[in-house]
Amino acid sequence: MEDSQIIDLYFRRDEAAISETAAKYGAFCHGIALNVLSNNADADECVNDMYLRAWNSIPPQKPEKLGAWLGKVARNVAFDLWKKNHRKKRHAGMEQLLNELEDCIPSPVTVEREIEERELTAVINAWLASLPQNDRILFMRRYWYGDSVSKLAKEIGTTPGSVAKRTYQLRQKLKRILEQEGNWL
């Protein structure tokens, strides 16, 4: 089914939207979540959560590129779950104390921070656009999709060391851009 047809189903509040989404993008989103979480059950949970978020967000949203939009949602849900799991795994001692003290810090979700993050995303977008296509795809595949270095090396036909070197160079380039743009981090 075409993306526009799936989106129409969402707009009509037809539950077939979920099954059509699952059929077309379920495996894709599961792969993204799995790369973040390294756990099949957690990845399944993320994908289910993603369907719910898609159901609640469309409408009013109308994604232009449904696959990329769903991928983003899956990635964000997976990242949230990763953070939650990570917090759970912390044990007693300093980590525990710091964890508790984090409650004293005001909520980081502020308008100011949101604007800052939007601007940072714009800088990253401009930088990605300036890269040669292969470098851009390599960066996205590694840091957006979370593909392993060895998988990428196999695809390119080179050594993992060479991929690691190239991604390091890309990270250094991004670092320089971020520094030029005014100490974002």
Partner 1 sequence: MKKMEVTKLYGCIANVNDAFIEEAQMVRLKRKSPVWLKGSVLAACICLVIATAVVCIFPARFETHPDISLGETMEPSIAATPDAGTGNPIASNPTGERLEKNSPAVVLHMNEVFVNDLDEMPSDAKLWYDPELYDHVFWGKEEVAAYYGKDLTPAYVPDGLFAAAGNGTAQMIVEKNGTVTVDELYLHYYHAYSETGGPKLTDPILARKGFTLSASKIGLVKDCFYILPENEVKTSNIGGIEVTIGYRPMPYGPYDAQTKEPAGYYDVYVAEFVLDGIGIDVTAEQMPLEEVVKVVASVICGTDELELDLVPGT
Give the footprint of partner 1 on this chain (CB under 8 A). Answer: 28, 63-65, 67-69, 71-72, 75-76, 79, 83, 117, 120-121, 124-125, 128-129, 133-134, 136-138, 140-141, 143-145, 152, 155-162, 164-166, 168-169, 172, 185
Q: How far is the CB of 15 from partner 1 (least distance, A)?
A: 25
Question: Which one, of 88, 79, 84, lies nearest residue 37 by Cα?
Answer: 79
Q: How far is the CB of 46 from partner 1 (least distance, A)?
A: 13
Least distance between partner 1 and beta carbon 17 (Å): 19
Please name which of 166, 170, 168 lies closest in space to residue 153, comparing C-alpha atoms. 166
Half-sphere exposure of 145 (CA within 13 A, CB side): 17
Structure-token pair, residue 24: 């077309």
Query: Exposure of 128 by Cβ count < 10 A (0-12 exposed, 13-18 middle, 19+ buried)?
Result: middle
Cβ distance to partner 1 smaller for residue 12 or 165: 165
Instruction: Pick between residue 14 and residue 132 the one whose CB is nearest to partner 1.
Output: 132
Of 8 and 173, which CB lies nearer to partner 1 in the complex structure? 173
Of 56 and 118, which has the nearer Cβ to partner 1?
Answer: 118
Closest contact distance (angstroms) between CB of 119 and partner 1 is 9
